[in-house]
Structure 1
């Protein structure tokens, strides 16, 4: 009787989570280009304050992250959305730039958000890049005044989607972004999503749930709760109306992967991006190689995040 009960329970559990019994969302997979097309760098031993511009590989193209040409190249390569980083400026605007300070990449000094937009746009944002320990600086002098504002980015690509990374954990910054979007309806917020610090994401969820804001902590809460309870078909509240990133090496614990997982989260108003295998290194793990992309199920109809859109874009198109 015990064996029979266990077999029956296993059968029910299997049927409830069988991917082949569910249909994937009626959509096309979306490619998210993390950083656009940019200069790749050595990630060994990275810390939060590591100057990545001084450890790039020998350049094979002329694009720098968070610039309009980089974004255009990403879209041309097949990206459906591009991740960008923003900082508020002292004059009430937002600059698109990665680092907390301008010291590493530019010819300026100081905390990024303690500058006006005009001061930031006067900088040479290619100044600090080197691939040979400072012997040469291949982008120095070539990217003067090329740090864009958020308005310039959204105006340049009016029909494209963006993941905005708020580079702080301050609720006040979410309030600033909300106010900015109210003043700029032409930005079309429905094409935007947001990644932020925990407090910042929570505040933005109150102000603009349509942006599907998410933080690292929210991702952990969603993931762990779904792993514990998702076998029953339950999608926890933390997984509703948000954006979720699922590492390839953890898909086996995501109940119903791939089709039933997509079906459940779509009904909960959420969107899933597959990312690369979770490692101990900093940053978003991405799907960057043909081998990684080959592991994406052909029935996958949600997102794929990549740091190498120039590689993955053509593969996705051919599939």
Structure 2
């Protein structure tokens, strides 16, 4: 299978992260996939945003899970963009772009499982159009229990071995290690165990070149054009 270029929060190196123009830009730059982060807001919608608060990326302040969708929509990113819902991102991307949904906020497993089920039932998507990842054990466990068919990726910035343990437990299809953790040896073990490897966040040309030689399945990058 060819190496998958995965745009990190869209094309974060070029345009404001996790905004609709950034996701469009990633695809324009050749990404076959995008990675994004979701939280559940106070009114129940899945909102695409990395941080637990809106303080860093918008002109507002407060915790995402305490703000309504209307109040989140009133905020601006870099004075010109709005925070998108997960539905809006999928409307912009359309079918054919593989989406890595990272469960960032708490209690995201059920809404994410429901979202994927709705897209499969109503819009003709299949489970292979998605992968759902998280660092959070409780969210991975909840997702696996609610929707065992949803492909899971285990994120780690600490240990490939631990990611593989969790992957076995939750019947994950992939592990998502930080690129600094990758070695020929642990990649071989992960591959032998049947896991795909999507590594993050690889931006520098020399790091991209090294990671490519290791035989990973996908590279998550702020600069899809560098792959």
- Equivalent residues, number: 218
Which of 123, 130, 145 lines up with 2:75 in the alignment? 123
2:115 maps to 180
Runs of 4+ in 1 over 6 A off after TM superposition: none
Question: Structure 1: 5+ residue runs without aligned partners?
Answer: 1-26, 40-60, 127-139, 226-235, 276-285, 313-319
Residue 192 of structure 1 deviates from its aligned partner by 1.4
| Residue 272 (1) aligns with residue 205 (2) | no
Contact (CA 8 Å) 1:155, 1:187: kept in 2 or not? no
Deviation sequence 1:35-67 (CA, Å, 0-9, x none): 22225xxxxxxxxxxxxxxxxxxxxx5x10101
After TM superposition, list the pairs within 5 Å mapping 1:266-305 onto structure 2.
268=194, 270-275=195-200, 286-297=201-212, 300=215, 302-305=217-220
Contact (CA 8 Å) 1:218, 1:238: kept in 2 or not? no
Residue 147 of structure 1 deviates from its aligned partner by 1.3
How high is the TM-score relative to the length of structure 1?
A: 0.60
2:27 maps to 75
State the distance in 2 between where 1:299 and 1:250 align.
8
Which one has a bigger Cα radius of gyration? 1
Across the aligned residues of Structure 1 and Structure 2, the Cα RMSD in angstroms comes to: 2.8
Residue 118 of structure 1 deviates from its aligned partner by 2.0
2:223 maps to 308
Residue 304 of structure 1 deviates from its aligned partner by 1.9
Contact (CA 8 Å) 1:205, 1:213: kept in 2 or not? no
2:7 maps to 33
Deviation sequence 1:182-230 (CA, Å, 0-9, x none): 344328343111222110111112222322142448954245x6xxxxx
2:176 maps to 245
Residue 107 of structure 1 deviates from its aligned partner by 2.4
In structure 2, the CA distance between the partners of 1:300 and 1:121, relative to structure 1 (3 Å rule), is: same
Residue 116 of structure 1 deviates from its aligned partner by 1.9
Residue 179 of structure 1 deviates from its aligned partner by 2.6
SS of the aligned residue for 1:79 comes to coil
SS of the aligned residue for 1:156 comes to helix
Question: Structure 2: 5+ residue runs without aligned partners?
Answer: none
How high is the TM-score relative to the length of structure 2?
A: 0.81
In structure 2, the CA distance between the partners of 1:183 and 1:218, relative to structure 1 (3 Å rule), is: farther
1:205 maps to 144
